[in-house]
Amino acid sequence: MNSRKRLAGKILKVSPGKIRFAPDALEEIQKAITGSDIRGLIAVGKIYQNGQNEQSRGRARGIAAQKKKGRRRGRGSKKGKKYSIVTRKSGWINRVRVQREFLQLLKEKQLVSIETFHMLYQKVKGGFFRNKRHIKLYINEYKLVEKGAESAALAEKLVGEVQLPEKSKKSGSEKSETKRSKKSKE
C-alpha cells in the first residue's frame, strides 16, 4: 500500500502522508499497479488528498499584530549587518537634514551672510561635515558669524564658544628625556 501512496502522491504532487484511501475500496486499490490505474481511482474519488496545509497561522498572526504596533523590533530582534538596520542612505538623509536645518536657523537669525550660508550648504551637500557640532567648529575656526550687537548673545547660544584642545608641542630634548625615563623605569 505504501507504493500506491507514493505513486498517488507523485500524481497529486503532495506528500504520501497526505494521501488517503476510501475504506470500502481497499481491494481495488490493492489491485491497482500502474500509474494509470491510480489516476482512475483518483478520478472516481477512491484515492484522495487529505485537507490543505495543516500548519497553524495563529501564532504568526499574533506576531504580525504585535509588529504592526511596533513591538518586537528591538536591537535583539535585528538580523543582518550594520547597514541593514539603518541603511547608509537613511543615515545620510538623517545627518544632512539636521545640518541643513541648523544652517537654515543660522540664516533666519542672520548670524551668517547669504554667501556664507551657500558655501556651508554646498559643503553639507558634499559630505564635508560629520555632524552639527562639526559645523559649529568650522564656523568658530573661520569666524564666519556676522558682527552685530544683538546677535552676539544669540550667536554665543547657537554656535557656542567651542575651544579646541591645545596640543602641547615638546622640543626634541624633552622628547628624548621622556624616552630615557621610560627606559630607566623598565
pLDDT tens-digit profile of 105-158?
Answer: 999 999 999 999 999 999 999 999 999 999 999 999 999 988 774 567 777 777
Of 5-9, 36-40, 42-46, 182-186, least confident by mean pLDDT is: 182-186
Q: Report the alpha-carbon angle 132-134-135, nearest 5.
A: 65
Instruction: Say if CB 102 and CB 135 are below 8 A apart.
Output: yes
Residue 75 — very low, low, confident or very high, per pLDDT cuts 50/70/90?
Answer: confident
Q: What is the pLDDT of residue 150?
A: 59
Reference 48, options 13, 21, 14; nearest CA is 21
Cβ neighbours for 12, distance < 8 A, ≥ 6 positions apart: 19, 42, 49
> What average pLDDT does this structure show over 12-37?
90
Q: Average pLDDT, whole number, for the chain? A: 85
CA distance 6 to 92: 57
Reference 31, options 14, 48, 46, 49; nearest CA is 46
* Cα separation values, 139 from 27, 161, 163, Å: 94, 10, 12
Strand partners for 19: 49
Q: What is the pLDDT of residue 79?
A: 86
CA distance 47 to 45: 5
Instruction: Please determine, for residue 180, whether its predicted confidence score (pLDDT) is greater than 90.
Output: no
Residue 92 — very low, low, confident or very high, per pLDDT cuts 50/70/90?
Answer: very high
Exposure string of 131-153, with b = 16+ CB inside 10 Å and e = fewer, is eeeebbbebbeeebbeeeeeeee
Instruction: Say if CB 100 and CB 140 are below 8 A apart.
Output: no
Instruction: Please determine, for residue 84, whether its predicted confidence score (pLDDT) is greater than 90.
Output: no
> What average pLDDT does this structure show over 18-37?
90
Q: What domains sit in the chain, N to C, each tagged with a CATH number?
A: 2-49 (1.10.1650.10), 85-158 (1.10.1200.60)
Residue 23 — very low, low, confident or very high, per pLDDT cuts 50/70/90?
Answer: very high
Q: What is the pLDDT of residue 186?
A: 56
Please, is 158 exposed, middle or buried when counting C-beta atoms within 10 Å of its C-beta (0-12, 13-18, 19+)?
middle
Q: What is the pLDDT of residue 54?
A: 75
Q: What is the pLDDT of residue 165?
A: 43
